[in-house]
């Protein structure tokens, strides 16, 4: 069955990439984006909350939304899926998630393609990046100001229409080109360029395994598709 095939692929692989999305954090009670009833985009408008135009139009609205999500992330803990992934010591973990839970579970230096919600940076792009402590002290209702240029601070995440951080993207591409196995876990596979990484791994000769409860466009690339929740499935595969 699928679990045994995946175990075999893991045993034989020497260069593993684990590509993750919001579904990996769902069992930590962090909402996904596109699940029909519980996803963030079912309740909030991405154009107003996750674009530069939205922030410029109403910085306090956007800042407040991220502050409440940041507070929720602080209350959450990594789940069995994050811990199982962290036990794949030689794997490169490439995540679209901004919650920092892979690192909190012990994954060394995960590639964060869409940034990190606990860090601020300058909205004007002067180059200032703050650390999480800056935000602990900040007012949740209005964005603080950049200490270098006085513009608003914003969360250090990637909004629609923005480029991914070049260094993270370069690491992700390199890992996918070199991989002999790519585990795709908990992503709808709809947001590009990230969603193109499994195809890059496949074109470079990697076997592809897709894990999640629902069908996604990435299933078509997969050698094995395993339907299930990441926190149920990954520990049985990794142990």
**Rule CB under 6 A: which residues touch ligand BJW?**
21-23, 26-27, 32-35, 39, 50, 96, 98, 114, 157-163, 186-188, 190-193, 212-214, 216, 229-230
- Whole-angstrom distance, CA of residue 116 vs CA of residue 155: 8
Site for Zn ion in 131-150 (CB under 5 A): 146, 148-149
- Whole-angstrom distance, CA of residue 102 vs CA of residue 187: 15
Q: Which of 82, 102, 114, 152 is catalytic?
A: 114
Q: Which is nearer to ligand BJW, 15 or 191 (CB)?
A: 191
Q: How far is the CB of 137 from ligand BJW (least distance, A)?
A: 22
83 counts as catalytic:
no
Question: What string marks each residue from 64 to 103 as x (binds Zn ion by CB under 5 A) or -?
Answer: ----------------------------------------
Q: Which is nearer to ligand BJW, 35 or 180 (CB)?
A: 35
Please give the residue whose beta carbon sits closest to ligand BJW in the complex: 23
Site for Zn ion contains 220 (CB under 5 A)? no
Q: How far is the CB of 149 from Zn ion (least distance, A)?
A: 3
Q: Which is nearer to ligand BJW, 92 or 96 (CB)?
A: 96
Please enumerate in sequence order all residues whose Cβ is within 8 A of that of 98, keeping only pairs 6 or more positions apart, or say none.
112, 114, 115, 116, 117, 155, 157
Note the residues at the interface with Zn ion (CB under 5 A). Answer: 122, 124, 126, 128, 146, 148-149, 151
**Which residues are part of the catalytic machinery?**
114
């Amino acid at each position: 069955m699928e679990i045994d095939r995946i175990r075999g692929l893991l045993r034989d692989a020497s260069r593993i990439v684990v590509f993750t999305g919001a579904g990996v954090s769902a069992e930590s009670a962090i909402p996904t984006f596109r699940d029909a009833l519980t996803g963030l985009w079912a309740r909030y408008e991405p154009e107003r909350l996750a674009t530069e135009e939205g922030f410029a139009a109403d910085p306090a609205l956007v800042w407040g939304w991220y502050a409440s999500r940041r507070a929720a992330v602080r209350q959450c803990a990594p789940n069995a899926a994050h811990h199982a992934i962290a036990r794949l010591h030689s794997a490169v973990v490439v995540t679209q998630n901004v919650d920092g839970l892979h690192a909190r579970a012990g994954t060394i230096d995960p590639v964060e393609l869409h940034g990190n919600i606990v860090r601020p940076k300058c909205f004007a792009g002067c180059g200032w990046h703050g650390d999480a402590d800056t935000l602990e002290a900040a007012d949740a209702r209005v964005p603080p100001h950049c200490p270098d240029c006085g513009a608003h601070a914003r969360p250090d995440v990637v909004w629609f229409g923005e480029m991914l951080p070049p260094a993270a993207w370069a690491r992700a591409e390199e890992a996918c080109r070199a991989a002999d196995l790519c585990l795709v876990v908990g992503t709808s596979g709809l947001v590009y360029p990230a969603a193109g990484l499994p195809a890059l791994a496949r074109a470079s000769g990697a076997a592809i395994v897709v894990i999640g409860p629902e069908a996604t466009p990435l299933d078509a690339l997969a050698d094995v598709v395993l339907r299930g929740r990441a926190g149920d499935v990954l520990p049985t595969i990794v142990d």
